[in-house]
Amino acid sequence: MPIEASALLRHPPVLPAGGQHLRYAERLSCDVDEHATHISAWRQEYDQLSCGRFNGAVRELWIDGPRLQLFHEHTGQQTSQQCLPWRGSVWFGVPDGHSLAPVHFSGRLQPADRTRLVMSARADDGFVLRTPRNFGIYGVVVDEEWLGRRMEQLGLRSPPIGQGTMVHVAELAPHLHVALCQTIESLLGLGASGESEHGWGRAALQALLDQLLGLLAGATQGDVHGAPLQASRRRLAAVMAARALVTHPLNHAMTVEDLCLQLHITPRTLRNHFRSVMGESPVEFLRAVRLNACRRRLRRQQTACTVQEVAAQWGFFHMGRFSQEYKAMFGELPSETLRQARIAH
């Protein structure tokens, strides 16, 4: 993915000896849609679900040869995330533990008493997250073929991803969670310092990478839960189908009852699906989705279209109420969003 103009690149790409290309970057954003582009080479779409100005940050280290990506992502507001990492990779996600609120991962609520987790998914399957406020997560994304070869060289058991289930969740012992977070932080720090250009830095990089793989191997062989199971997969599919329908501007008049007719489920079933997958009612979630759709259109507006016309496309016909709800959600008026987009264009 291209880096937005507002991205903050602290260190330029470096080329250490040994054929490894390293790129380190830090990127900040005050818009959830822009933030979703700040993890390189991913295809993502985020919706902001809680009210207030968004703040997001990504610190990322990219290593080619092996093709491996490490990052720490922070989101200040509640979000719904649809994520598709780069093709041929495996993703591991470790919440940093600063937020004790539960996370919804690919259709399943992770219990509040299980905050030390490692989540994993194959890139070709993608995954969905529903995150709380002030949420931080470490990500490890690695070429699946290289991962299998390197695990074999190190005498480690490969993670169970790709062995018949879409995604996995494993609970971590406290010491293992701390070790994983500290190892990824050390790798990010090495990239940020630029010291991997030196001999000792390259040796430290390789040692930390092997340590990280060993920790991941141990973490994913423990209390592993295949997710989503058949029931949770159906719930997730129904929720994502409902979201896709209401984000289309031609469907602005659709009610929850209309959605149920389209999806061939009862209103009660739809409500239960949304509570299970997103932790809120379909009315609340889908209204937030429509507001996010308006914001995307306003931010990308390159024509003479007005705020009123954009709002009407998603069923907001009372402009005073729309402006109030929009400002409560995003911390600015829709006219401000449109004006800033035109200035940037």
Q: Which of 68, 31, 334, 62 is nearest to 7 (CA)?
A: 31
Q: Residue 232: pLDDT above 60?
A: yes
State the average pLDDT over residues 265-278.
90
Burial level of 290, CB count in 10 A (0-12/13-18/19+)? buried
Architecture of domain 230-344: Orthogonal Bundle (1.10)
pLDDT at res. 223: 47
The domain ranges of the chain are 21-226, 230-344
Q: What is the DSSP code (8-state) at residue 88?
A: T
**Assigned superfamily of 21-226:** Jelly Rolls (2.60.120.10)
Q: Residue 114: pLDDT above 60?
A: yes
Calculate Rg over the CA atoms of the chain: 21
- 27-61 confidence digits (pLDDT tens): 999 999 999 999 999 999 999 999 999 999 999 99
Whether this prediction's pTM lies above 0.95 is answered by: no
Count H helices and E strands in the chain, helices first. 11, 13
- 127-148 confidence digits (pLDDT tens): 999 999 999 999 999 999 999 8
- 156-213 confidence digits (pLDDT tens): 877 766 554 567 888 888 999 999 999 999 999 999 998 877 778 788 988 999 999 9
- 291-345 confidence digits (pLDDT tens): 999 999 999 866 678 999 999 999 999 999 999 999 999 999 999 999 988 887 7
